[in-house]
Amino acid sequence: MSAPSLIEIKGLEYAYHSGARVLHDINLSVCKGEFVAIVGQNGSGKSTLARLMAGIDFPSAGQVLAGGINTRDKKLALDLRKTIGIVFQNPENQIVFEKVADDMAFALGNLGLDKDEIAVRIRETAAMMGIENFTDGFELSMGQKQRVAIAGVLAMRPECIIFDEPTAMLDPRGKKDIHSIIVDQHKRGLTVVYVTNVIDEVLSADRIIILSGGSVKYEFEKKDLFRNIDKLKELGLETPFIFESVDKLKSRGIDIELEDYTLDDLTEKIAEKVK
């Protein structure tokens, strides 16, 4: 039996005030505990969809339900915030207060948490995200701001977080660190919707959704990724190193079926073959 759905999008259409329809005919669901990657070229509508999923913007037609809550229902706005959080593509849209701790505390206070709980969550999340020494949020680099923005949402501990290209501004080490923190949070039960065009990050997903021109062009499970790799190439994404390795081994007569496309998985399968 599949897990119950946490986000349900039905007949979604969206146009900005200024004009043309940006999203159309979107029907999607995200299950509790799932890790879904949303991939697509610049302007395909990823960030717009992310904001609609989180109830920051509202559909022009159709509806978005998150944990059964219609995102338009203002009376349930607090419950919605406890269910779903979003890390914006631009961290400057996320940071409101100058002091990093005040910024995190404000959002936690809005959830109705007491002072002690707020202090514990700020301390734990700041340590996890490596931002303990950041004080003035406005004076940080974009990559540092991105860490603060992610920390603020993680500290709220919603059931699901939508990450809109969360590692785009980080250095290579930072990208790996933050991506693995998100993967770890997923293992602990967080439902993750992850907008990215980084192939290694796509590999962490259970399901991949490709947006094009404001609608879903392709949608497939991770287990079908190998035979759908051309669809990612269409977007200009690189072929993962793991896939090339499997192809090369195959050309040498060694057939390998991977389960999670990690180096550990590949090593394990080769070791089984040569035993």
Ligand X SMILES: Nc1ncnc2c1ncn2[C@@H]1O[C@H](COP(=O)(O)OP(=O)(O)OP(=O)(O)O)[C@@H](O)[C@H]1O
Q: Residue 48 Cβ, how far from Mg ion at the closest point, in Å?
A: 8
Q: How far apart are CA 93 and CA 106, in angstroms?
A: 15
Residue 125 binding Mg ion, by CB under 5 A? no
- Core vs surface per residue 196-220: b (16+ CB within 10 A) or e: bbbbbbbbbbbbbbbbbebbbbeee
- Token duo for residue 149: 């923005």
Is the torsion defined by CA of 39, 26, 48, 56 positive or negative?
negative
Compare residues 144 and 197 and give the one whose CB is closer to Mg ion.
197
Alpha helices in the chain (DSSP H): 46-53, 77-83, 100-110, 115-129, 142-156, 172-187, 199-202, 229-234, 241-251, 263-274
CA-to-CA distance for 80 and 65, rounded, in angstroms?
9
**Could you tell me what percentage of the chain is helix, strand and coil, using 3-state DSSP and rounding each to the nearest 5?**
45, 25, 35
Q: How far apart are CA 20 and CA 18, in angstroms?
A: 7
Question: What residues make contact with ligand X under the rule CB under 6 A?
Answer: 16, 18, 22, 40, 42-48, 89
Stretch of residues binding Mg ion (CB under 5 A), selected from 57-65, 88-96, 151-159, 265-273: 88-96
Q: Which is nearer to ligand X, 48 or 94 (CB)?
A: 48
Eight-class DSSP state of 163: E
Q: What are phi and psi of 220, to 5 degrees?
A: -150, 160
CB 26 within 8 A of CB 199: no
Instruction: Using the minimum distance from each CB to Mg ion, give the nearer residue, 47 or 204.
Output: 47
Stretch that binds Mg ion, among 38-46, 52-60, 151-159, 170-178 (CB under 5 A): 38-46
- Per partner kind, with CB cut-offs from 5 to 8 A, the member of ligand X, Mg ion, none near residue 44 is ligand X
- Residue 222 interacting entry, from Mg ion, ligand X, none, C-beta within 5 to 8 Å by type: none
Q: Select the binding partner of residue 240 from ligand X, Mg ion, none (C-beta < 5 to 8 A, by kind).
A: none
Q: Which CB sits closer to ligand X, 80 or 162?
A: 162
Stretch that binds Mg ion, among 58-66, 87-95, 129-137, 150-158 (CB under 5 A): 87-95
Residue (5 or 47) nearer to Mg ion, CB: 47
Choosing among ligand X, Mg ion, none, which partner's interface includes residue 18 (Cβ < 5 to 8 Å by kind)? ligand X
From the CB of 17, what's the least distance to Mg ion, in Å? Answer: 18
Q: Does 47 bind Mg ion (CB under 5 A)?
A: yes
Shortest Å distance, C-beta 50 to Mg ion: 7
For residue 46, the minimal CB distance to ligand X (Å) is 3
Whole-number minimum distance, CB 177 to ligand X, in Å?
22
Q: Is 89 in the site for Mg ion (CB under 5 A)?
A: yes
Give the integer Cα–Cα distance in Å for 45 and 34: 21
Kindly list the residues in this chain that would bind Mg ion in the complex (CB under 5 A).
Answer: 46-47, 89
